[in-house]
Amino acid sequence: MFHVVPVIDLRDGGVVHARRGDRGRYPPLRSALCTGNDPVAVVGGLLRLHPFPVVYAADLDAIEGVGDNRPALARLTAAFPDTAFWVDAGFRGAEAVRSFVASGLGDAVLGSESLEGLEPLAELKAGPAWARVILSLDFRDRFVGPPALAERTDLWPERIIAMTLARVGSGEGPDWNRLAGIGRAAPQARLFAAGGVRGGNDLRELAARGSAGALVATALHDGRIGGAELAALARLDR
């Protein structure tokens, strides 16, 4: 089944609009789906558009090491108990991942840009938290993370995100070549595309090429991907 996963980027307790990975310039989110940028209002607007089973949350303060948005995440899990959350909070070590998973706030996304080595993945793979780990392979003009990680597919969990940061919020289309390369390297993984999705045609093409899903933000908030299109895509999976 192909999953569209809406994305929210959290900073100082609010949702901001990610554009091309330039985090210092993200403005407060303005969306056709809700009023204001409070996280509960934003996710509520997204779920009124479509019953998404999963929402991805990037805790930008935690990623940048200047705080965290745990209170906002707690509000979200309380407000939407039937929605799963995938959270990138700049995890750098295995213990931080285990603690987060135990908190009940969601599954842990390990962004390659936050990892200094392979030890956290190797340690987590040996324990029960591994099933709750998603790996985000982060790219700007090149791979961002421990160089060996790109080749160590034995340390990749079942769920992989191909995150092309320069395309986030750009509307330039998915990074097809990158996705194809990662798919060849780990054909057993469930691969999710992130960055550049323009509309329904991109989603259908990703599904046709074997992606498990796509992370989407801008195209949902500006109406390029609407509820009818999402419902039609869901029907294709049945």
Looking up residue 153, the CATH number of its domain turns out to be 3.20.20.70
Answer for the pair 50, 232: CB distance below 8 angstroms, yes or no. no
Averages of pLDDT over each 10 residues, the chain, 238 residues: 94 87 76 96 98 97 95 98 98 97 97 95 97 95 93 97 76 86 95 91 94 94 93 76
pLDDT at 167: 64
Report how far apart, in Å, the C-alpha atoms of 102 and of each of 18, 67, 128, 162, 167 are: 28, 20, 11, 26, 33
Q: Phi first, then psi: what are they for 164, rounded to 5°?
A: -95, 95
Total domains in the chain come to 1
pLDDT at 24: 64
Answer for the pair 100, 62: CB distance below 8 angstroms, yes or no. no
Residues in the chain: 238
User: Tokens for 134?
Assistant: 């998603």
Number of Cβ within 10 Å of residue 67's Cβ equals 13
Q: Which domain holds residue 8?
A: 3-236
